[in-house]
Amino acid sequence: MKPLRKKLFVSFLLIMGLTLAGLVLVLAQLLPVYLEHEDERAAGEVVSLLGEKGISLDAADRAELEDRLAGIDPGTGKKKPPIGFLMTAAVVFAMAFIASGVLYYKMADRYVRPIDLVTGTVLDLAKGNYRARAEWGEAGIQVGLISAVNALARNLQDMESIREAESERLETLIGHMGSGLLMIGRDSEIAMANSFFLNQFDVREPALVGKSYKAAPLPASLIRLIDAVQIEERPRTEQMDISRSGGTGTMAVYAAPVINKNGGWLGIVVVMHDITELIRLERVRKDFVANVSHELRTPVTSIKGFSETLLDGAMYDTATAEQFLGIIHRESGRLETLIEDLLDLSRIEKEGFTLELKSVRVGDVLRQAIETVSGRLEEQNMKLSFHIADSLTVKADENRLVQVFVNLLANAAAYSKPGTGIRIEAIPDGNAASISIEDHGIGIPEEDLPRLFERFYRVDRARSRDSGGTGLGLAIVKHLVDLHGGSVQVQSTVGSGSVFIVRIPLA
């Protein structure tokens, strides 16, 4: 039985019991008086009947008659209890008690059970079970209450599913966003850190969440920033370098206090963006501008200097004039090459630059390249040896591929002693042609290899500049090979030579 019904039923039985007990008490008081009166009346009746029949009783007989009618034992002088009457009364009372109990139980079941049902449902709802419903098959007085509770439960369930969907969406958003997010509660404890943030510091969630930010395994600079925001109660932005497993990264960190409408302090939110790539690009841009200016300044200074000397009178000395003009001519040639290379590089790097791809025989490409640099090769008296697989064809832009090998062959000639050999090899390797240019020149130190394909990067600046180089050749090579979907690698030993291996997809 449900609590309310049980309570009401017990209370009812108690009240009923008490009422009946009261009734019994009253009856117990009134019964002897009534019985005595009845005995006297009956004795009177008997005496008058006997009188009518001609029998008269004296006082003693009359007293005995009364005693007998009253049920007083002549031997003991005590009155016999009215057992029959008492039994009947007890049965009547018991039946009345039971009947009213049953009747009440039925009533309670009808009117109170729905309330118990609704109470149970509301308690379930309070525990968070929004699927709970009050089931009631009968029509009746409490149907309105039951349907109201069920409507409330349905609304709660709908609200809960909306809340769940929203929190799931928010969790996914925070978890997958490309920025770090850290939330600190009003008690300075870390309430939340998203996966980006955790990954940056190589920590797991339990190491942060629930801990005071001051004791968390976070960089001192970040803790200082949060401290400052807590003291000043205003947002702050800082750029900080952090060391992580993949090397040092630069972060733009924004920390702001979270304050509610009434000015109450709720905590601090920290948002962190990885700007490592941005910083690198900025450095590349600055380096590029510095490099270009530097490269341009050298020939321009020299042209200016020699032309000034000529104007100052040297032009009247034919031999000197010829020598100086020769230098001016050479330097302006260098300027032209530099500008052409820069323009070429910017053209290649420009978005939308496309190659004119077609089937090209590797042999033809290499022959054209050698022809282009033949002057320089002869100057250096280089000895060429070939090993080119027959009919090796690649998918390439012929002119651009020639440009790649012209650069590599020119380098091989420029950075080798005269009279040494260059070996050219082209063989199929999987789904690509592997073309290598090997020289026996000065070689490249290992520490320079990773940066070799950067714009303006030169191993030995003085020597390279003497050779007329700008440091853009290999940058152009790398770009062009990448655009072909290929790759370029270099192996080198200082003093014994280098080999550049270009892979271009087969046609």
Ligand X SMILES: Nc1ncnc2c1ncn2[C@@H]1O[C@H](COP(=O)(O)OP(=O)(O)OP(=O)(O)O)[C@@H](O)[C@H]1O
Q: How many CA atoms lie within 13 A of 348 on its CB side?
A: 23
Alpha-carbon distance 192 to 182, whole Å? 6
Residue 234 contacts residue 240 (beta carbons within 8 Å): no
132 binds, among Mg ion, ligand X, none (CB under 5 to 8 A by kind): none
Tell me which residues touch Mg ion (CB under 5 A): 411, 469, 473
Min CB(212)–ligand X separation in Å: 54
| Three-point CA angle 356, 361, 366, nearest 5° | 95
Query: Closer CB to Mg ion, residue 441 or residue 473?
Result: 473
472 binds, among Mg ion, ligand X, none (CB under 5 to 8 A by kind): ligand X
- For the bound state, the minimum distance from the C-beta of residue 175 to Mg ion, rounded and expressed in Å, comes to 48
Q: Which residue is nearest to Mg ion (CB)?
A: 473
Nearer to ligand X, 396 or 410 (CB): 410
Indicate the residue among 365 and 373 with the shorter CB distance to ligand X.
Answer: 373
Q: Rounded to the nearest whole angstrom, what is the least distance from the CB of residue 448 to ligand X in the complex?
A: 7
Q: Which of ligand X, Mg ion, none lies near 402, with the C-beta cut-off 5 to 8 A by kind?
A: none
- 452 contact, one of ligand X, Mg ion, none, CB 5-8 Å limit per kind: ligand X
Task: Provide the minimum distance between the beta carbon of 384 and ligand X in the complex, in angstroms, as a whole number.
Answer: 14
Beta carbon nearer to ligand X, 9 or 405: 405
* Minimum CB distance to ligand X smaller for 136 or for 457: 457
Write down the residue that tokens 């073309």 correspond to. Answer: 435
Write down the least CB distance from residue 287 to Mg ion, Å.
19
254 sits in which H/E element: strand 247-259
Angle (deg, nearest 10), helices 83-111 and 113-126: 40
Least distance between Mg ion and beta carbon 461 (Å): 13
Contacts of residue 312, defined as CB under 8 A and 6 or more positions apart, other chains included, come to: none
Secondary structure of residue 182 in the 3-state scheme: strand
Compute the distance between CA of residue 118 and CA of residue 115 in angstroms, rounded to an integer.
5
CB of 247 to ligand X, least distance (A): 25
At what angle are helices 113-126 and 143-176 packed, to 10 degrees?
10
In the complex with ligand X, the residue whose CB is nearer, 73 or 446, is 446
What are the C-alpha distances in Å from 351 to residues 289, 486, 490? Answer: 20, 19, 27
Q: Which does 394 bind (CB under 5 to 8 A by kind): Mg ion, ligand X, none?
A: none
Is the CB of 108 or the CB of 369 nearer to Mg ion?
369
Q: Are strands 421-429 and 383-388 parallel, antiparallel or unpaired?
A: parallel
Cα–Cα distance for residue pair 430/3, rounded to 1 Å: 83
Binding site for ligand X (CB under 6 A): 341, 407, 411-412, 414-415, 439, 441-444, 452, 457-460, 464, 469-474, 498
Residues 312 and 119: their CA atoms lie apart, in Å, by 111
Choose from Mg ion, ligand X, none: what does 440 bind? Cβ within 5-8 Å by kind.
Answer: none
Q: Which is nearer to Mg ion, 250 or 491 (CB)?
A: 491
Strand partners, 85: none
Shortest Å, Cβ 457 to Mg ion: 11
Q: How far is C-alpha 457 from the chain's CA centre?
A: 41
- The span from the CA of 136 to the CA of 118, in Å, is 10
Q: How far is the CB of 437 from ligand X (least distance, A)?
A: 8
439 binds, among ligand X, Mg ion, none (CB under 5 to 8 A by kind): ligand X
Q: Is the dihedral of CA 160, 161, 167, 171 positive or negative?
A: positive
> Could you give the C-alpha distances from 401 to 335, 360, 398, 407, in angstroms and in order?
24, 9, 5, 10
C-beta of 402: minimal distance to ligand X in Å? Answer: 15
Burial 48-75 (b: 16+ CB within 10 A, else e): eeeeeeeeeeeeeebeebbbebbebeee
By beta-carbon proximity to ligand X, the closer residue of 180 and 441 is: 441
Residues constituting the chain: 507
* Partner interacting with residue 442 (select from Mg ion, ligand X, none; CB below 5-8 Å by kind): ligand X
Is residue 433 within 8 A of residue 503, CB to CB? The reply is yes
Separation CA 184–CA 192 (nearest Å): 7
Residue 190 contact partner, candidates Mg ion, ligand X, none, CB within 5 to 8 A by sort of partner:
none
The smaller minimum CB distance to ligand X, of residues 232 and 378, is found at 378
Rounded to whole angstroms, the Cα distance separating 344 from 338 reads 10
| Shortest spacing between CB 470 and ligand X, in angstroms | 4
CB nearer to Mg ion: pick between 142 and 411: 411
Task: Compute the least distance from the CB of residue 380 to ligand X, in Å.
Answer: 12
Nearer to Mg ion, 121 or 411 (CB): 411
Q: Which does 136 bind (CB under 5 to 8 A by kind): ligand X, Mg ion, none?
A: none
Helix (H/G/I), strand (E/B), else coil: 506: strand
